[in-house]
Chain A
């Protein structure tokens, strides 16, 4: 069981959290013209690295905050967790 440091609550066991996938996905700004490719990339094409992965987690059984995690997809080691408005 992973141990995840929620930036608001501190270290907690994984079963308090739910996963939210690639944190680098950015919703296109729809004020501007968005090409089909740009939109499809946003919907379906995510980073899938073997190594460091920036990802979202949601502290569902806690403070209910979403936050960012830098984690290894090889060893599952977590290097860093930050609030949404901070940089990993």
Chain B
């Protein structure tokens, strides 16, 4: 594989960029693989990469019904963080942050990890206390967190509403290492490396059924023929229920649409990722200059990647309440993604009752930041046939035992997030 660097860029410039290799092959499916990952989104690609790299399992296929990185990794707000309260989540995502920090170098692909800091604004003392509980928990777990007062915030985000807000800003919790990454690059970087280690990424190949004998996985039926395998990892986010149905499985998730939008590009004025505490809104500025904004779900089960305007109106009203200067910018582009909303807001990375079938779902709206660590732990779970210490609490049967991981404390009303 060609190594990417400033030198290769200069060298290729003199041959008018005619000699770059293809980033990945376009292979036909083989008859049999050691393992098959379904879904060439961020998590699926990362899983295949770590299976090959960490566990030396390279006879793998990733089956994708559309194109590489076309699911939620292509339609998110690119935020990375590990600012969780529960230990199971905090330690898991913190391992993810460590993977993010070295990802560009590891993949030889600039994923533009940018630790610009994520600031959660608080609008009352009570909310500050709730954030303190989370922030102190983070610190005791070895995760970076600081409290910010109004004075510090006025320096960092002077354009926020410090004077006439309905819910005044009291302070904030900040994770300085939180930040953003370039979403497409993550998918492409993993795909390129996985491909170079021999992983077959097969696009436009839809899984239509599974072959299960005596409670064991034997293979899959696809739009491009039957393929044999003993291990299958399911990484299909919003489509999980649909594939599970083919296995007669029902899972504790619902599909909901989440919208995000960007403004037209403007010169940089917002350095951090900022979330609004008197509502549900988050905002950062991309390298291109667009304000990247998101918030609540549309609020009803949906498999349509299309949202409605009232939700955006609600979300943007939160944005303008936080940053009144956003009002004069223009909304350029909106899009919707299908979220696999789990019943406690936390994911499942687990084995299943079928031998050789491994599950990875329930990412709600936090899947992007988990991409590396989800792939890393899922690869371990598939290769070793047992969960890693980091994902051992993300079991499916926690919904039977009551060991739930409800960060927000809202229960099973997935649509209110």
> For the complex, what is the distance from the CA of A74 to the CA of B304, rounded to whole Å?
5
Instruction: Give the chain A neighbours of B300 by CB distance below 8 A.
Output: 2, 19, 55, 71, 76
Judge if B10 is at the interface, Cβ distance under 8 Å: no
Q: How large is the interface on B (under 10, 10 to 19, 20 to 34, 35 or more residues)?
A: 20 to 34
Check B301 against A14 for contact (C-beta < 8 Å): no
How close is A74's CB to chain B, nearest CB, in angstroms?
6
Instruction: Give the chain A neighbours of B254 by CB distance below 8 A.
Output: 21-22, 46, 48
Judge if B409 is at the interface, Cβ distance under 8 Å: no
The answer, among A15, A48, A50, for a CB contact under 8 Å with B253, is A48
Judge if B317 is at the interface, Cβ distance under 8 Å: no
Judge if A40 is at the interface, Cβ distance under 8 Å: yes
Q: Which residue of A lies closest to B343 (CB)?
A: A44
Check A73 against B303 for contact (C-beta < 8 Å): yes
> For the complex, what is the distance from the CA of A74 to the CA of B338, rounded to whole Å?
11
Check A45 against B301 for contact (C-beta < 8 Å): no
How close is B245's CB to chain A, nearest CB, in angstroms?
8
> For the complex, what is the distance from the CA of A25 to the CA of B332, rounded to whole Å?
40
Check B304 against A73 for contact (C-beta < 8 Å): yes
How close is B344's CB to chain A, nearest CB, in angstroms?
8
> For the complex, what is the distance from the CA of A40 to the CA of B399, rounded to whole Å?
7
Q: Which residue of B lies closest to A41 (CB)?
A: B250
Judge if B19 is at the interface, Cβ distance under 8 Å: no
Q: Which residue of B lies closest to A14 (CB)?
A: B310
Judge if B308 is at the interface, Cβ distance under 8 Å: yes
Over the window 1-22 of chain A, the binary record of Cβ atoms lying under 8 Å from chain B Cβ atoms (1 yes, 0 no) is 1100000000000110011011
How close is A59's CB to chain B, nearest CB, in angstroms?
15
Q: How large is the interface on A (under 10, 10 to 19, 20 to 34, 35 or more residues)?
A: 20 to 34
> For the complex, what is the distance from the CA of A59 to the CA of B301, rounded to whole Å?
18
Check A1 against B304 for contact (C-beta < 8 Å): no
Instruction: Give the chain B neighbours of A48 by CB distance below 8 A.
Output: 241, 251, 253-255, 301
- Helix, strand, loop or mixed for chain A's interface? mixed
> Taking A1-B310, A36-B400, A44-B412 as contacts, is the C-beta distance between A74 and B303 under 8 angstroms?
yes
Check B415 against A15 for contact (C-beta < 8 Å): no
Check B302 against A76 for contact (C-beta < 8 Å): yes
How close is B375's CB to chain A, nearest CB, in angstroms?
24
Judge if A43 is at the interface, Cβ distance under 8 Å: yes
> For the complex, what is the distance from the CA of A21 to the CA of B412, rounded to whole Å?
10
Judge if B324 is at the interface, Cβ distance under 8 Å: no
How close is B342's CB to chain A, nearest CB, in angstroms?
9
Instruction: Give the chain B neighbours of A40 by CB distance below 8 A.
Output: 399-400
Over the window 234-260 of chain B, the binary record of Cβ atoms lying under 8 Å from chain A Cβ atoms (1 yes, 0 no) is 000000011000000011111100000
Can you name 29 A-B residue pairings with CB atoms under 8 Å?
A: A1-B309, A2-B300, A14-B308, A15-B310, A19-B300, A19-B415, A21-B254, A21-B301, A21-B413, A21-B414, A21-B415, A36-B400, A43-B343, A43-B412, A44-B343, A45-B251, A48-B251, A48-B253, A50-B241, A50-B242, A50-B303, A53-B301, A55-B301, A73-B301, A73-B302, A73-B303, A73-B304, A74-B303, A76-B304
Q: Apart from A19-B415, A73-B303, what are 11 other A-B pairs with CB-CB below 8 Å?
A: A1-B310, A18-B299, A21-B254, A40-B399, A44-B252, A45-B252, A46-B254, A48-B251, A50-B303, A55-B301, A74-B304
Cβ-closest 3 pairs across A and B:
A48-B241, A44-B252, A50-B303
